[in-house]
Structure 1
């Protein structure tokens, strides 16, 4: 509730709102022009409509706002008080409206973002760096698709960057971000073996079967009729890469994981999958109509974060980059 004039000053004033911002704008226009005719012209209304607004305000407030014997019109003492405070209120309302419409200018008190663990290192840090001015504080959570969606609907998180599996998500708005290829990784000692030979003779290291990536790779191997149940599974794909680097077996991993420059990346062989290939899609999810223009800014910042890391990998490690494939929108980073 907004009360512009004190009840002590105006005993008969109602305690609820007695006019809206459109009424206030009309009143302020009359004060500034000194004429209902000029105010009507400014507001593109009829003079009778402006006069009706002023009479209605006066009736609801039980006060007289203008000295109608004066020309130009002059506000009364209480009218002048309303004019002074109303100007500030109208300026604030206009500023809020412009801020909400301007991309990236809203500064939220707190934002919680959930990101799949593949992107929980360089990507998360770069994204929050790009968006830091849009919230006073941030919470960044990494986890599985299932866990992140659970926290989203519990309102612990306002934004998700997750795997897209086409599952309906009520009240969520989705924006496609990336498509990436899945690649085969082996220790150098196994680089001569085909995928089928690896599946038949060598331990498969995989993601947990109930994770989004675990289900994706399991379905892919089933389509190829390869009996490759994981010998060991991990909740974090970085651990999968580490096990392969130590010579334990082979794995299928997403390209995004290999953009991170780690020591173990130098101890594996990366191989694109022969047809049929397999890809995974990353999507941005937010609650409909809650964050204004921020989802568009997150989308732009996410693309920038990926492109920066892609260009870095392409420049420093072209032999690695040539094995990976990424797509954002209609732009393909693969060569």
Structure 2
């Protein structure tokens, strides 16, 4: 069934019903009397019902008008509430979009890159709230591509077609060893020096492991591992406990807990940078956060 009347027709009807006069209804709605008459007639035609009995002395509502009144009031009230709610949600969304910055990041660069950037941002007086999504490089890429994050901070992942990677720094793979280890602060001249060591490597399929395997393949080397772990923090815990030595990015090792040792050629590095979604217009808060990260790097 086609509806041939609108909210303005219902408003005109209710004004006439309330005032008992087409003239008074016109004054109430700031319209001409002829406009009120046309709207009421349009509503009567759409409903196929007479709503008012008109005479030179008075305008009396019909039974159909009395039945329509409560429904018309409900329809207009629902429309007003819907409009108000949509406006409130739009304002809230605009505020949220400008005040909250969602950053997807690999955990290993939070300490050296992201925390200094946020500290710099706070010194500028920025009131932006930062929501962090931590995960692997591929998880970061997915969060950016799907719009879950405003941008990502990661080593170069399997790039989604809709994303763009901006390199910021080269993060060298080091050997993390216990503080009292003979190699602490030193340099390995040949990979054979790791023979017999309890070696901790990233799990196969992770970005860091792919870099290590590619470098070893080019050097025609084979590393014998004792432990495979999914997260760098787990590898560090094993090193601190004296259970082995780990190949980890410099940024993941941190300060104080373990010592480092540089590795022989081929040097293994991962590129770390900003991952953005193509075609996305950054809010001022996102622009400021990216700028702070570039400064921190």
1:177–1:302 CA contact under 8 A, matched in 2:
no
**Where does structure 2 lack aligned partners over 5 or more consecutive residues?**
1-28, 36-95
Count residues with an aligned counterpart: 201
**Matched residue, 2:46:** none
Match of residue 250, structure 1, among 231, 245, 249:
245
Q: CA RMSD in A?
A: 3.1
Greater relative contact order structure (CA < 8 Å, 6+ sep) = 2
**Whole-Å separation in 1 of the counterparts to 2:146 and 2:284:** 23
The alpha carbon displacement at 1:195 in A equals 4.5
Q: Distance in 2 between matches of 1:10 and 1:252?
A: 79
Correspondence for 2:255 among 237, 261, 277: 261
The reply to whether residue 149 of structure 1 matches residue 141 of structure 2 is yes
Call closer, same or farther: CA 1:289–1:135 in 2, change over 3 Å.
farther
Contact 2:200–2:246 under 8 Å retained in 1 = yes
Q: How many angstroms apart in 1 are the aligned matches of 2:272 and 2:203?
A: 19
TM-score, length basis structure 1: 0.51
Specify the alignment match of 1:226 in structure 2.
221
**In the alignment, is the contact (CA less than 8 A) between 2:144 and 2:163 conserved in 1?**
no
Could you tell me which residue of structure 2 aligns to residue 117 of structure 1?
A: 107
Q: 8 Å contact 1:198–1:250 — kept in the other structure?
A: no
CA–CA distance in structure 2, aligned partners of residues 140 and 241 of structure 1: 22
Query: Does residue 1:128 correspond to 2:118, yes or no?
Result: yes
The 1:296/1:112 distance shift into structure 2, 3 A limit, reads closer
Give unpaired runs (5+ residues) of structure 1.
1-7, 13-105, 307-335
Alignment-derived partner of residue 215 in structure 1? 210
| Counterpart for residue 131 of structure 2 | 139
Change (3 A) 1:275 1:161: same
1:148: Cα distance to partner?
Answer: 1.7
The structure 2 residue matched to 1:201, chosen from 173, 186, 196, is 196
TM-score w.r.t. the length of structure 2 is 0.57
4+ residue runs of structure 1 moved beyond 6 angstroms? none
- Cα 1:201/1:152, change in 2 over 3 Å: same
Aligned residue in 2 for 1:186: 177
Change in 2 beyond 3 A, CA 1:189/1:107 = closer
C-alpha distance in 1, partners of 2:241/2:201?
A: 15
Superposed displacement of residue 168, structure 1:
4.2
Kindly report which structure 2 residues correspond to 1:6-45, keeping only aligned pairs within 5 A, or say none: 8-9=29-30
Higher radius of gyration, 1 or 2: 2
CA contact (8 A) 2:145 2:162 kept: no
Question: Where does residue 265 of structure 2 map in the other structure?
Answer: 275
